[in-house]
Chains A and B, each alone.
Chain A
Amino acid sequence: MPTPLSGFGLGMRRPHYASYLAGDAPVDFVEVISENFMVEGGRPLDTLLRVREHYPVALHGVSLSVGSADGPSIDYLDRLKTLVERIDPAVVSDHLCWTGVGGFNSHDLLPVPLTDEALDTVCRTIDRAQSHLGRRMLFENPSSYIAFPGTITEWDFLGEMVRRTGCGLLLDVNNVFVSAMNHAIDPFAWLDGLPLHAVGQIHLAGHSQGAHGLIDTHDAPVDPAVWALYAKVIGRTGPVPTMIERDGNIPDLGELLAELATARAVVAEPVA
């Protein structure tokens, strides 16, 4: 059994590799993008294996494409399984999204039309992936910029997905905020609908204002409104492994650790 994830972590990004390799970054776990390490060999895998000696690792994928009408790629699942066996991660996660269909792959997290048919497809693929890997996975709520007409709410969709497949939820609090703002919904009401009992990990990140709404850019500090939502979640769930995602304008490790200290403070004094 892999070590369970706990505490507070960061996404492992190249500028900070030396600290993780030395084991002197004061975090409880690191998360990496699975696909970056689904390779044959070389320095990236060696780096991850050496970091793994110091920290539990969460594998976070972007290409399982659970919402694709085509179903999963067996080659992808085989490669992911190989990585899981090499790393023995604490958590394996991906997103509620699809990335392509008919042999095309957009390499973006595209929005799933939240229909009964899509729910069947998503659950079938999650069942297949969890069975292939022999372990429970977590799936992240996406940030969305559009809504297909005549579909159910994302929180109901996620609740049913969790119930049917037994998977967990990787709750991205920033994504809740971004999606809620873009769809003019109260983010606290959005949270209330989610299956919070299934949350196995939390992501915090920054966003920016785009021409058509908020965009989940991961290139800025966590917004105060997102911290308020996070406090609300922790008040409901109790401590959940939490991490900061930063993919653009990556600051010094110290700045990210300061943000992580804010998360620690929220958990230390949760809102009722």
Chain B
Amino acid sequence: MSDIAPLATVQHRFCAWLTEPDEDRAAELAQALHVGPGLVVYQNNYRVALIDALRETHLRAAAWLGEAAFAAAAARHIDAHPPTRWTIDAYGTGFPEGLRATDPVAVDLATIDRAIGDAFVAADAMPAEATALAAVDWERAAIRPVPSLALIPVETNADAIWLALVAETAVPQPCALPGTVLVWRQGFEPVMRRGDPLECRILRRSLDGTAFATICEDLADEGDPEQVVTRAGTALGRWLGESMIAGFD
């Protein structure tokens, strides 16, 4: 029927053209496809869709950086990291890290943006009630956090800035404030707060399936055993009240 190159060859050439950041090189690649000037429509669609996707996922980072700086960062990311997943919602892995040279607050804002988005569509789970504690075998049981829970390391007070941007209230002055932000979902609403170092250590190991008693024993080796157990128990009560725990395995 035709003398066109094999399908895979044509498609690889097409993708090479589509993702080529250098204009002169892209023009050469386009010419080799022999398909006419309408080709540019696809290039425009490709870049606009990815920039829009990055902006939608990282709304607060975009607001913080401003349109021009965000668009420039998005363009750099698209050139360096063409998409590979079937869902455009997954696009942007590594995007926050790429902002480090631009603005450390933006890195944290973008990381929180992504975590909130992931929590929004995470698997559903009924939160455990405090009454469930009575039936738990504490010698063996591991705490099972809700599937939406993520522990996000941050270097700045971006969590406070993020919340102010959402609420459209006065944005606090940016400052260094290393720590961990807990992100999860209550019902259908993603929520977040700062975690204290002890509870973050317990939650991290719980996510790995380690038994609560084992975690407490290990922590007790580092300090006053009674105080550790008391603090861990208080944290557990708080998590239950915050719908952060799905059950006990």
Contact = CB atoms under 8 A, between A and B. Distances in A.
Given A39-B121, A42-B188, A151-B2, A107 B84 contact: no
A101 B12 contact: yes
Nearest to B4: A150
A146 interface: yes
B123 A107 contact: no
A108 interface: yes
Contacts of A68: 11
A219 B120 CA distance: 28
Given A105-B83, A151-B1, A151-B2, A146 B46 contact: no
B42 A110 contact: yes
Contact of A182 (B33, B38, B121): B38
Interface stretch (B14-22, B162-170, B197-205): B14-22
- For A111, A117, A146, which residue has the most chain B Cβ atoms within 10 angstroms? A146
A121 interface: yes
A63 B90 CA distance: 13
User: In the complex, which range does the number of interface residues on chain A fall in?
Assistant: 35 or more
Interface residues of B, number: 47
Interface string B1-45: 111101110111011001100000000000001111111111001
B123 A212 contact: no
Nearest to A61: B86
A152 B4 CA distance: 11
A17 to B, nearest CB: 13
A235 interface: no
Given A38-B87, A210-B41, A104 B19 contact: yes
B179 interface: no
A107 B91 contact: yes
Interface string A209-226: 011110100000000000
- Which 3 A-B residue pairs are closest in the complex by CB-CB distance? A145-B38, A150-B2, A41-B124
Given A40-B121, A41-B122, A150-B2, 8 more contacts: A43-B188, A68-B11, A104-B19, A105-B84, A107-B83, A110-B14, A146-B39, A151-B2
Interface of B: 1-4, 6-8, 10-12, 14-15, 18-19, 33-42, 45-46, 49-50, 53, 82-89, 91, 119-124, 147, 185, 188
Interface of A: 35-36, 38-46, 63, 65, 67-70, 73, 75-76, 98-108, 110-111, 113, 115-118, 121, 144-152, 182, 210-213, 215
23 contacts: A35-B87, A35-B89, A41-B147, A42-B119, A42-B122, A44-B120, A63-B87, A69-B6, A73-B86, A101-B8, A104-B82, A104-B83, A105-B85, A106-B42, A106-B83, A107-B49, A110-B14, A146-B39, A149-B4, A151-B1, A151-B4, A152-B2, A211-B40
